[in-house]
């Protein structure tokens, strides 16, 4: 956005754009009601925006954004949505707080910062149900104070002869069911028996049985390693 606008005037333009998405016409009163300001304040902002060729407004008439006004308004609106999503979905803040803080910071961030936030949100949205495991763990930490990152170690990193407790299985569908049928369930102890020369597959002992897993499968199982080398069922 190359047009120099103050944060206050940007808010007016963004609001006009939002209202124009919902209504066929935009009036001074609509803007004043939405922003909870006086009509005289809106009128002053409208004059500034008109002087920059961002809108057209006849005296006591409707407000209409120009093509340039639509483009700039859309950019401001989308920036606000990005920041709202980041605050609400990633930082897990209350919707009202997220909305308020997005308005407070959206005028002061470098465009590269906003672009990086967009990329982060795109990265997160690729996870199943738009909720990667670390966000789920963060929500749990906020709600309970339990920081599961303290034992965020995966089964493929467990050394031969060591025992761990299974904390979560980050797999879905048939593969997860197959592992659970083999005895790999949350809370169960598992011990590394041996690893192939190249580290794949890996042989484990669980519930008195020896099973082999591919490294890629073991990598999706989070564990908490036991401090002492406890045995499983006498092994």
pLDDT on residue 231? 44
pLDDT at 232: 44
Is residue 160 in a domain?
yes
Q: What is the pTM of this model?
A: 0.63
Q: Are 68 and 173 members of one domain?
A: no
Alpha helices, H only, the chain = 7-22, 28-35, 39-51, 67-85, 95-105, 111-125, 133-144, 173-181, 215-218
State how far Cα 113 lies from the chain centre: 15
Give SS3 for 184: coil
Q: Please name which of 40, 58, 63, 52 lies closest in space to residue 6, comparing C-alpha atoms.
A: 52
Kindly state the tokens that stand for 137. 């763990």
Q: In this predicted structure, what is the pLDDT of residue 78?
A: 94
Residue reference for tokens 């080398």: 229
> How many structural domains is the chain composed of?
2
Residue 150 has a pLDDT of 65
Are the C-beta atoms of 51 and 68 separated by less than 8 Å?
A: no
- 2 in a structural domain: yes
Q: What is the model's pLDDT at position 152? A: 64
**Beta-bridge partner residues of 210:** 205
* In a domain? residue 204: yes
Q: Could you tell me which of 206, 112, 118 has the C-alpha nearest to residue 158?
A: 206
For residues 233 and 220, give the distance between their C-alpha atoms in angstroms, rounded to a whole number.
24
CA distance 199 to 101: 48
Same-domain status, 12 and 111: yes
pLDDT (tens place) for every residue of the chain, 235 residues total: 567 889 999 999 999 999 999 988 899 999 999 999 999 999 999 999 999 999 999 777 899 999 999 999 999 999 999 999 999 999 999 999 999 999 999 988 998 999 999 999 998 888 777 778 788 888 888 998 877 766 568 888 888 999 999 888 887 788 888 888 888 898 999 999 999 887 789 999 998 889 999 888 888 888 887 765 444 444 4
100 with 163, same domain: the answer is no
* pLDDT score recorded for residue 24: 85
pLDDT score of 119? 93
What does the pLDDT read at residue 118? 93
Per the CB < 8 A criterion, the answer to whether 192 and 159 are in contact is yes
> Residue 195 forms beta bridges with which residues?
202
> Which among 47, 48, 56 has a CA at the least distance from the CA of 20?
56
Looking at the domain assignment, is residue 235 inside a domain?
Answer: no
Given this model, what pLDDT does residue 230 score?
45
Do 8 and 120 sit in the same domain of this protein?
Answer: yes
65, 55 contact by CB (below 8 A)? yes
Distances (CA, A) of 60 to 19, 25, 54, 205: 18, 13, 18, 80
């Amino acid at each position: 956005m190359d047009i120099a606008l103050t944060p206050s005037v940007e808010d007016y333009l963004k609001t006009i754009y939002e209202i124009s998405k919902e209504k066929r016409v935009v009036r001074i009163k609509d803007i004043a009601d939405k922003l909870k300001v006086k009509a005289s304040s809106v009128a002053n902002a409208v004059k500034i925006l008109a002087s920059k060729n961002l809108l057209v407004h006849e005296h006591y008439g409707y407000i209409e954004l120009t093509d340039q006004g639509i483009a700039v308004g859309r950019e401001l609106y989308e920036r606000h949505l990005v920041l709202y999503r980041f605050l609400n979905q990633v930082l897990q803040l209350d919707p009202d707080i997220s909305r308020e803080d997005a308005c407070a910071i959206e005028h002061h961030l470098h465009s590269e910062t906003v672009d990086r936030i967009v990329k982060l949100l795109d990265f997160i949205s690729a996870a199943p149900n738009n909720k990667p495991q670390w966000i789920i763990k963060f929500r749990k930490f906020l709600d309970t104070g339990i920081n599961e990152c303290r034992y965020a170690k995966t089964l493929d990193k467990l050394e031969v002869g060591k025992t761990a407790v299974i904390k979560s299985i980050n797999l879905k569908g048939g593969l997860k069911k197959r592992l659970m049928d083999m005895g790999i369930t949350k809370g169960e102890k598992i011990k590394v028996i041996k690893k192939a020369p190249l580290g794949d597959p890996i042989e484990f002992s669980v519930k008195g049985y020896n099973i082999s897993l591919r490294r890629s499968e073991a990598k999706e199982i989070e564990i908490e390693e036991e401090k002492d080398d406890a045995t499983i069922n006498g092994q």
